[in-house]
């Protein structure tokens, strides 16, 4: 019962964080600076997601097979590989590096 309370409360709280962004008044979004900030924010957020998924470790950062996946994916992108190939190259690199130990 108590655990159910926290589960449902967390679901409601996280949904609120998502909905909150959609409740920003439209008038705030038409300011000319918003377009430029939005483009920069996209780059910043995606780069942060790349870094977080590459180096995250429990309460720290670490270098492991995921860095190999990042480099292999970058190489695939330089060679203009399609998205799905880039993803598979990333998986293959991480799995391969781990298999080689």
Task: Select from 21, 27, 100, 101 the one that contacts another protein (CB under 8 A).
Answer: 21
Instruction: State which of positions 62-91 bind another protein (CB under 8 A).
Output: 65-66, 68-70, 72-74, 76-77, 83-84, 86-91
Residue 33 within binding range of another protein, rule CB under 8 A: yes
DSSP letter for 58, please: T
Task: Select from 1, 27, 32, 56 the one that contacts another protein (CB under 8 A).
Answer: 56
For residue 61, the cross-strand partners are 56
At its nearest, how many Å lie between another protein and the CB of residue 34? 7
Residue 26 within binding range of another protein, rule CB under 8 A: yes
Length of the chain: 101
Identify the H or E element spanning 61. strand 60-61
Distance of alpha carbon 98 from alpha carbon 92, whole angstroms: 10
Exposed, middle or buried by CB within 10 Å (0-12, 13-18, 19+), for 55? middle
Task: Select from 27, 32, 43, 100 the one that contacts another protein (CB under 8 A).
Answer: 43
């Amino acid at each position: 019962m108590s655990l159910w309370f926290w589960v449902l409360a967390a679901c409601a709280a996280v949904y609120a964080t998502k909905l909150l962004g959609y409740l920003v008044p439209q008038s705030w979004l038409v300011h000319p600076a918003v377009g430029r900030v939005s483009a920069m924010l996209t780059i910043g957020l995606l780069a942060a997601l790349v870094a977080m998924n590459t180096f995250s470790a429990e309460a720290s950062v670490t270098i492991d097979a995921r860095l190999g996946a990042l480099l292999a994916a970058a190489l695939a992108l330089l060679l203009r590989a399609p998205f799905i190939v880039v993803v598979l190259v990333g998986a293959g690199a991480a799995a391969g590096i781990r298999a080689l130990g």
